[in-house]
């Protein structure tokens, strides 16, 4: 029996546990189980590994995506450049466990975005500049798409929401929300931009997936924009974790 799991704190609701329970049942995988580990401190990962020699992989969520990194043996390129980890492969076959950190949000975002890109989608606005935004930036750099970060409070290498004008929106036709604005239960919140200037040339992507259609997406769709929520990204990054744990990539 191989074990996998999710670390974070708290873990009141977990997409990952249900996803892997369904996957194991559907695919007839009977020698694996997936458990939740609500650990307050990232360093407790070492105790988890010591207590379970069958532990082969972990997903990582808030607040440990950064704080877990000092306990890892190595990082893949995306995790190193982004500065955050959401997947760990654990090799316990040697004298000391080897822990390799990955950022599978990159794969999930890129693979769900690429089919939507049209020739006129040349530049992007990224709303927010937290951990999720770093994965989005990494993907745009990989794809050669210039971007601007848009934030509420002034900071280097970003502009304020008040700077998003009609002229800016005419040039920047990919809009990505990486903030929790619009996420349940704050359903009425949304990035404060002039939606009346959006057109059918725009693509609005929201990393939020609950609700299925946020105010950001609804307002963009009302102007004719193409829209996408974060659910497929979530599924793709989970499948990527499984591939990593099974050395299929």
Residues serving a catalytic function are 65
The residues, any chain, with a CB within 8 Å of residue 213's CB and separated by 6 or more, are 221, 227, 229
Strand order in the sheet with 55-60: 32-38, 2-8, 55-60, 87-91, 98-102, 74-75
Cis ω for the linkage preceding 148 (within 30 of 0): no
Given a contact cutoff of 8 angstroms between Cβ atoms, the answer to whether 86 and 102 are in contact is: yes
Q: Which of 153, 138, 140, 151 is nearest to 177 (CA)?
A: 151
- How close are the terminal C-alpha atoms of the chain, in Å? 22
């Amino acid at each position: 029996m191989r074990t996998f799991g999710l670390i974070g704190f708290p873990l009141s609701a977990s997409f990952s546990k249900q996803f892997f329970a369904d996957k194991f049942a559907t695919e007839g995988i009977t020698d694996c189980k997936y458990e939740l580990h609500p650990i307050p401190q990232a360093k407790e990962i070492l105790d988890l590994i010591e207590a379970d020699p069958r532990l082969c992989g972990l997903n990582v969520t808030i607040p440990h995506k950064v704080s877990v990194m000092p306990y890892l043996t190595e990082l893949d390129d995306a995790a190193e450049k982004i500065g955050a980890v959401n997947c760990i492969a654990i090799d316990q076959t040697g004298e000391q466990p080897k822990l390799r950190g990955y950022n599978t949000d990159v794969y999930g975002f890129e693979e769900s975005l690429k089919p939507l890109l049209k020739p006129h989608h040349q530049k992007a606005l990224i709303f927010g500049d937290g951990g999720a935004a770093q994965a989005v930036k990494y993907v745009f750099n990989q794809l050669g798409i210039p971007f601007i970060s848009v934030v509420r409070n002034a900071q280097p290498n970003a502009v304020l929401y008040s700077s998003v004008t009609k002229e800016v929106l005419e040039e920047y036709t990919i809009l990505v929300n990486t903030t929790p604005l619009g996420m349940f239960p704050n359903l009425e919140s949304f990035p404060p931009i002039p939606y009346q200037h959006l057109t059918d040339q725009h693509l609005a992507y929201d990393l939020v997936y609950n609700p299925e259609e946020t105010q950001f997406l609804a307002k963009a769709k009302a102007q004719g924009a193409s829209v996408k929520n974060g659910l497929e990204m979530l599924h793709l990054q989970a499948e990527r974790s499984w591939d990593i744990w099974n050395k299929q990539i």
